[in-house]
């Protein structure tokens, strides 16, 4: 029988999770599969209540990091602490929730009604979250009578999120959580995460959606070649990329001089529109005038997280859009 909401953490009258201290700690963690080293002496700390995005190119070790934090296997060298204890102990105590990648399927047992599945998951926890709060927060009320094999990709992700928070976790791990969602579903999903985080809970998510990380996370960790190459607020990482971006319309024939302007590190042309990366945009604009470049509609932007990410990981920034892992 489901307990009343007043008897459970996360329900009416329940206090927030503990604040202060560390939610995660990696100390000189290395891991490898056969001859392939995936993580190399990774050291980091995540405070309770933080929302942290983990970015990195394909094969950087993001999923391995989350698997280690969940105690799915042990690191080869170094130590990992989750909520002040070992990963497996934290998971066993119901203090950790997770949404992992599922491959081509939904990751849900087929033919089961959503409401029955949630009841089953809640019954596995000694102190589950309030049932009605889980349903409300995940937005699955209209889906409770629907079978799991009749859900859209976004609906299945909502159900998986409900299962992840059913145990009232202090810490939530998400591995590419919005990969099956359209833009509207993504926005609604992160609103749910914000509600979860507002209670002082910790969220750690891996994503290849760079703009998503910039918008949602308090902090962004960039992993490349098995090592942390950047760690800070999205604005800090964008500043670390150095260059700012200038966009303008140029008169035909004047584009040839753009590469030689002071401060310019890169130029891209799309028809009459020039996009210029510059380490000193003021000097670049002054030099435009000095060289009598005919232009209009000039705008100066800060570096975006996408360009910062590719510069920090040694890659070439794509012409636009998020890139796959």
CATH 3.30.70 segments of the chain: 243-302
322 compared with 254, residue with greater pLDDT? 254
DSSP 8-state symbol, 113: B
* Ranges in the chain annotated CATH 3.40.50.300: 5-238
CA distances to 84, 98, 105, 171 from 22, rounded to whole Å, are 7, 18, 34, 11
- Give me the CATH topology for the region 243-302: Alpha-Beta Plaits (3.30.70)
Which value, to the nearest 10 degrees, does the dihedral of the CA atoms of residues 130, 136, 139, 145 take? 70
Q: Do 161 and 99 touch, CB atoms closer than 8 A?
A: yes
Q: Render pLDDT for 7-63 as a digit per residue (tens, 0 to 9).
A: 333 433 344 555 568 999 999 999 999 999 999 999 999 999 999 999 877 778 888
Task: Calculate what percentage of the chain has a pLDDT beyond 70.
Answer: 79
* Order of all β-strands in the sheet with 219-224: 96-99, 171-175, 202-206, 51-55, 219-224, 227-232
Torsion-angle region of 40 (φ positive above 0: left; ψ -120 to 50: alpha; else: beta): beta
Which CATH code is given to the segment(s) 5-238?
3.40.50.300
Burial 193-228, CB ≥16 within 10 A → b, else e: beebbeeebbbbbbbbbbebbbebbebbbbbbbbbb
How far apart (Å, rounded) are the C-alpha atoms in residues 144 and 323? Answer: 34
Residue 255, helix vs strand vs coil: helix
pTM of this prediction? 0.70
Residue 115 pLDDT more than 90? yes
pLDDT in tens, 198-223: 888 999 998 877 677 878 888 988 88
Mean pLDDT for 276-287 is 80
CA angle 296, 302, 214 (to 5 degrees): 135
């Amino acid at each position: 029988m489901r307990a009343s909401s007043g008897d459970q953490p996360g329900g009416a009258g329940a206090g927030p999770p503990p604040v202060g201290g560390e939610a995660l700690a990696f100390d000189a963690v290395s891991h490898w599969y056969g001859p392939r080293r995936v993580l190399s002496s990774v050291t980091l700390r995540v405070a309770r209540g933080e929302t942290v995005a983990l970015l990195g190119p394909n094969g950087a070790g993001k999923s391995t990091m989350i698997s280690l934090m969940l105690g799915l296997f042990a690191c080869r060298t170094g130590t990992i602490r989750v909520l002040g204890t070992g990963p497996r102990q934290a998971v066993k105590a119901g203090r950790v929730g997770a949404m992992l990648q599922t491959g081509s399927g939904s990751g849900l047992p087929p033919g089961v009604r959503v409401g029955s599945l949630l009841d089953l998951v809640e019954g596995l926890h000694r102190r589950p979250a309030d049932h009605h709060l889980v349903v409300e927060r995940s937005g699955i009320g209209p889906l409770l009578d629907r079978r799991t094999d009749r859900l859209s990709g976004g609906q299945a992700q909502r159900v998986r999120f409900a299962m992840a928070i059913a145990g009232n976790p202090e810490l939530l791990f998400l591995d590419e959580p919005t990969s099956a969602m359209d833009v509207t579903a993504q926005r609604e999903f992160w609103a749910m995460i914000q509600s979860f985080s507002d209670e002082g809970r910790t969220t750690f998510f891996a994503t290849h959606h760079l703009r998503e990380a910039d918008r949602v996370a308090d902090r962004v960790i960039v992993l490349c070649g098995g090592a942390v190459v950047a760690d800070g607020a999205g604005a800090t990482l964008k500043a670390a990329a150095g260059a700012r971006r200038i966009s303008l319309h140029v008169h035909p024939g004047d584009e040839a001089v753009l590469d030689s302007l002071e401060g310019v590190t890169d130029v891209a042309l799309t028809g009459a529109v020039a996009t210029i990366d510059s380490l000193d945009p003021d000097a670049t604009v002054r030099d435009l005038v000095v060289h009598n470049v005919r232009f209009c509609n000039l705008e100066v932007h800060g570096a975006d997280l996408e360009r910062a990410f590719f510069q920090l990981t040694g890659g070439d920034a794509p012409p636009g859009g998020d890139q796959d892992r």
